[in-house]
């Protein structure tokens, strides 16, 4: 009971900082994340609803913009984000359960994208809630554009200067200078 009461002020502070609007809210989040993240560069911009779990496992570079309701989850995982990243609304970047995600410099991510570096493990004869996870890696190169509503699964490398069309499900590596799309995503053409 006492532990619950002690944790409530921390939960209230997190809620307040997460949903405090405007430039004051952005400033509060920046101050809090400067202390809580493993490393934070200059010029972080976050809108309301930006959430972190296990921030000590997260690195964010310079000039990072995160729109409403984005989340970075890295319990028992790691996330490294480079410089000049623009992340639209409702994006989930999740390396929890033994995953690793690296996002390069000059990357744009459309709204409703899921980047998940761990998958459920199927175990015959077990309940689905007992499956557990297998961690993997996702490496996204420099100057990459990921369109809206994409899903990127574990053990994927997306090469530099690539474009992932909106609505794509990326289940295998993407070569540099490629445009891919579909479910599963396939190469549409090379960028000259």
Concatenated DSSP letters for 54-78?
SGGGEEE-SSEEE-TT-EEE-TTSE
Closest CA relative to residue 96, chosen from 132, 144, 147: 132
Catalytic residue, chosen from 34, 120, 172, 189, is 120
Tokens 């004051």 -> residue? 24
Are the beta carbons of 165 and 149 closer than 8 angstroms?
A: no
Please indicate whether residue 133 is annotated as part of the active site: no
Q: What tokens does 180 get?
A: 């891919």
Q: Quick one: CA torsion of 84, 87, 92, 93, rounded to 10 degrees?
A: -10
Closest CA relative to residue 38, chosen from 18, 24, 52: 52
How far apart CA 144 and CA 109 sit, in angstroms, is 8
Helix or strand (DSSP H, E) at 91 = none
For the chain, how big is the Rg over CA atoms in Å?
A: 17
Residues annotated catalytic, as ranges = 120
């Amino acid at each position: 009971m006492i532990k619950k009461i002690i944790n409530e002020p921390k939960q209230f502070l997190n809620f307040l900082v997460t949903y405090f609007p405007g430039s004051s809210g952005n400033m509060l989040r920046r101050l809090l994340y400067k202390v809580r993240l493993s490393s934070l560069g200059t010029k972080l911009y976050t809108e309301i609803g930006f959430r972190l779990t296990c921030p000590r496992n997260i690195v964010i570079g310079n000039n990072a913009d995160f729109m409403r309701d984005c989340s970075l989850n890295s319990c028992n995982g790691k996330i490294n984000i480079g410089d000049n990243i623009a992340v639209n609304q409702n994006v989930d970047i999740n390396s929890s359960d033994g995953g690793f995600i690296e996002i390069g410099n000059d990357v744009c991510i459309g709204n409703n994208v899921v980047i998940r570096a761990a998958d459920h493990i199927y175990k015959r004869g077990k309940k689905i809630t007992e499956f557990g996870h297998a961690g993997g890696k996702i490496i996204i190169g420099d100057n990459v554009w990921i369109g809206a509503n994409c899903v990127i699964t574990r053990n994927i490398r997306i090469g530099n200067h690539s474009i992932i069309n909106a609505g794509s499900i990326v289940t295998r590596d993407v070569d540099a200078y490629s445009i891919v799309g579909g479910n599963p995503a396939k190469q549409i053409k090379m960028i000259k």
